[in-house]
């Protein structure tokens, strides 16, 4: 009987020791939810096909928006990020392929390529993501998306045109998922305007 009590006591001590070690371990971080920018803009056909190659430069982003973290603001000049939701990649990097596809659908150019490319280009579309944030200082919260675009004559090394495009879209819910839905709606309109900007500018030259 005494041996059984000793055995049970030893087992109890072992269980308590393991439980104590487990309690001291830091909690596991949950994997964040990943979201993508995915817009299917309605692109109008170009009135004429230009015999030029357009290169889509690698989009850049302003400080604070070059990350895959999802940004939001509650007060002016105070940028914060969601803890449990992220973009699958930095938004600027997701923007390039979407715009290249949209511009190609216009049918207005001999070819549309993405940088870096071995194909000599006539015109470069240079883009900078100025901001992509969910603003909670207004109700309902809204996505604020701003892009700075330049059309550059590659051979002449000169800027042909510059445009700042801005879109606002109310979020359907006051959380990250609502922000994602609003961001894709805003991006769809912005891509349509960006394609029109390129087609009109190139058509006027």
3-state SS track over 88-104: CCCHHHHHHHHHHHHHH
pLDDT at res. 14? 46
- Paired residues of 103 in beta bridges: none
Of 39, 49, 48, 25, residue with least CA distance to 145: 39
Element (H, E) at 186: helix 176-203
Q: Under 8 Å CB-to-CB from 28, ≥6 apart: which residues?
A: none
Residue 163: strand pairing partners:
149
Tell me what pLDDT residue 27 has.
55
**Residue given tokens 């109310």 in the structure block:** 170
Q: Supply the pLDDT for residue 189.
A: 97
Q: How far apart are CA 9 and CA 79, in angstroms?
A: 56
Q: Would you list the domain boundaries of the chain?
A: 32-203
Domain 32-203 homologous superfamily, CATH:
ABC-type transport auxiliary lipoprotein component (3.40.50.10610)
What is the pTM (predicted TM-score) of this model? 0.82
Residues 157-192 have pLDDT tens digits of 999 999 999 999 999 999 999 999 999 999 999 999
Is residue 114 within 8 Å of 56, Cβ to Cβ? yes
| Cα angle, residue 145 at apex, residues 139 and 146 outer, rounded to 5° | 135
With beta carbons less than 8 A apart as the criterion, state whether 95 and 188 touch: no
Where the chain has pLDDT below 70, the residues are: 1-29, 203-205
């Amino acid at each position: 009987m005494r041996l059984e009590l000793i055995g049970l006591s030893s087992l109890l001590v072992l269980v308590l020791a393991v439980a104590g070690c487990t309690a001291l371990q830091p909690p596991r971080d949950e994997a964040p939810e990943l979201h993508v920018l995915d817009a299917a803009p309605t692109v109008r056909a170009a009135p004429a096909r230009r015999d030029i190659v357009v290169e889509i430069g690698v989009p850049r982003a302003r400080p604070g928006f070059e990350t895959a973290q999802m940004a939001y603001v509650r007060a002016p000049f105070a940028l914060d990020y969601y803890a449990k939701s992220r973009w699958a990649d930095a938004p600027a990097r997701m923007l390039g392929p979407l715009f290249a596809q949209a511009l190609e659908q216009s049918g207005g150019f001999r070819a549309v390529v993405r940088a870096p490319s071995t194909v000599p280009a006539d015109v470069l579309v240079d883009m900078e993501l100025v901001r992509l944030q969910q603003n909670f200082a207004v109700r309902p919260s809204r996505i604020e998306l701003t892009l700075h675009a330049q059309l550059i004559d590659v051979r002449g090394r000169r800027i042909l045109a510059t445009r700042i495009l801005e879109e606002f879209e109310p979020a359907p819910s006051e959380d990250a998922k609502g922000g994602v839905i609003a961001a894709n709606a805003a991006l769809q309109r912005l891509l349509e305007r960006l394609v029109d900007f390129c087609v009109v500018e190139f058509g006027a030259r």
